[in-house]
Amino acid sequence: MARNNPQLLLALAERFYILDTGRHDSMRSLYGGIRPHEKARSPTGPLAAWYYGPFWALLNTRLADALGLINRMLDHAAAARASAWQASSEPQQAPGLELDLPGIGARWCAGDDQTWRWYRGGSTGPYPCVSALLAVERFADQLLDVGAIPAGDVVRLLLRDCRNLAMPGLVAGLLIRHQAQGGNLLDNWLAGPRYGSWKPHGPQRKAAFMSRDQIRLTCLARTGGASASVRWRQP
């Protein structure tokens, strides 16, 4: 279907995966606003993988539209997760960060420290979102490895429709792994030895935004990396 009727597949995927969090039967607290994968899975099989769902096929046939779908899923899941910390009397804007996204400008990105790590698959993200991020990461890695698209264009494409912290987390890790192709693009993501901290509306603790390349990123920041334009603001 991704080859013969990708527009239909995009529409079906969006209707299937994105649950209406305004409905009481949407089970937002269980699924994080995203319907789980439906597939035959062995007891030892992964819960998320780059080849689960339609994401990999769509990235290879309708790249911009596929990234739009994935970012809408991530936006929805990040807002559902972050809003779970809020009391009903608190402002409705989901907790997150205002990031100065390369080529885009300042934008509020919903989520928390767990959302930032969804792309690594070891966090609390809905499994379809993790699968989609793993597919995007694999696709972007291949683009940069073969030099098909300049790194700056790849970054702008990934972040164009982003209003969540999951995709910036993926981009930060991508630039760390591809420093030769990325040049100084990584500078925009460094703000001291850590990205910063987020104070949730639940347990009173602080959690650092870190990627899987935490040690390498910390080392880069301590050896003269430029500061990122990150403005902290309570929603």
Kindly report which listed range (30-44, 152-166, 187-201, 214-228) carries the lowest average pLDDT score. Answer: 214-228
In a domain? residue 218: no
Count how many domains the chain has.
1
Instruction: State the pTM of this model.
Output: 0.77
**203-212 mean pLDDT:** 36
With bands split at pLDDT 50, 70 and 90, how would you rate the model's confidence at 192? very low
Q: What does the pLDDT read at residue 225? A: 40
Q: What does the pLDDT read at residue 229? A: 36
- What pLDDT, in 10s, does the model give residues 51-102? 999 999 999 999 999 999 999 999 999 888 766 554 444 545 667 888 888 8
- What pLDDT, in 10s, does the model give residues 90-143? 545 667 888 888 878 889 999 888 899 899 876 678 999 999 999 999 999 999
Helix ranges (DSSP H) in 94-206: 113-116, 127-146, 151-159, 166-177, 179-182
pLDDT: which is higher, 98 or 29: 98
Q: What does the pLDDT read at residue 217? A: 40
In a domain? residue 123: yes
In a domain? residue 11: yes
The parent domain of residue 57 ranges over 6-35+48-84+94-184
Taking phi first (over 0 means left), then psi (-120 to 50 degrees means alpha), and beta for anything else, what does residue 27 get?
left
In a domain? residue 200: no
In a domain? residue 135: yes
Mean pLDDT of the chain: 75
81-115 in b/e burial notation, b at 16+ Cβ within 10 A? Answer: bbbbebeeeeeeebbbbebebbeeeeebbbbbbbb
With bands split at pLDDT 50, 70 and 90, how would you rate the model's confidence at 31? low
Over 90: is that where the pLDDT of 8 sits?
yes
In a domain? residue 198: no
With bands split at pLDDT 50, 70 and 90, how would you rate the model's confidence at 22? low
In a domain? residue 189: no
In a domain? residue 101: yes
